[in-house]
Amino acid sequence: MRRQLISQQSSESTPTQAIDLTPMLDVVFILLIFFIVTASFVKLPGPEVERSEALTAQARKPAMLVAIDQHDVIWMDKSPLADNRIKIELARLLAETPRGSLVIQVDKRASVGRLALVSDLAGQLGISDISVSTLHD
């Protein structure tokens, strides 16, 4: 009888073991924050354009994107621009990325005059690294 009483008392006084998940959750949240901060977000200038083909091309990582669609509308940051706003928006993009290059995505049905307008305004602002996005196999 005494043995039963002692074994009952010892089993009641031993607390049950539980796994503390707080440190693991902290690590998961830190990893989540790390991946969100380090992810590179791609800015799209606007509509999908049908680019012309080129014989020679070089892959580049653009810093500033401008698109000219088939209706000769100029797009930056997914919004169409009036002609009087192009230089202002290019200056804003240049202020965000001072050493960035400008890549112009031109639809093959767009007029060359619109491409000349954007590249001329970029040149006036001091952007010297201007490229035209093309298709290359």
Look at the chain and report how many structural domains it folds into.
1
Q: Indicate the Cα dihedral angle 55, 135, 106, 86, nearest 10°.
A: -100
- What residue numbers bound the domain in which 118 lies? 64-133
Write down the mean pLDDT value for the chain.
78
Does residue 98 belong to any structural domain of this protein?
A: yes
**Per-residue pLDDT at 132:** 84
Using DSSP's 3-state secondary structure scheme, residue 47 falls into coil
**Per-residue pLDDT at 124:** 92
Does residue 16 belong to any structural domain of this protein?
A: no
CATH number at residue 92: 3.30.420.270
Share above pLDDT 90 across residues of the chain, in percent, rounded to a whole number = 13
Question: Tens digit of pLDDT for each residue in 103-119?
Answer: 888 888 888 899 999 99
pLDDT(120) > 90: yes
β-partners of residue 76 are 79
Does residue 18 belong to any structural domain of this protein?
A: no
Cβ contacts of residue 35 below 8 Å, gap of 6+?
A: none
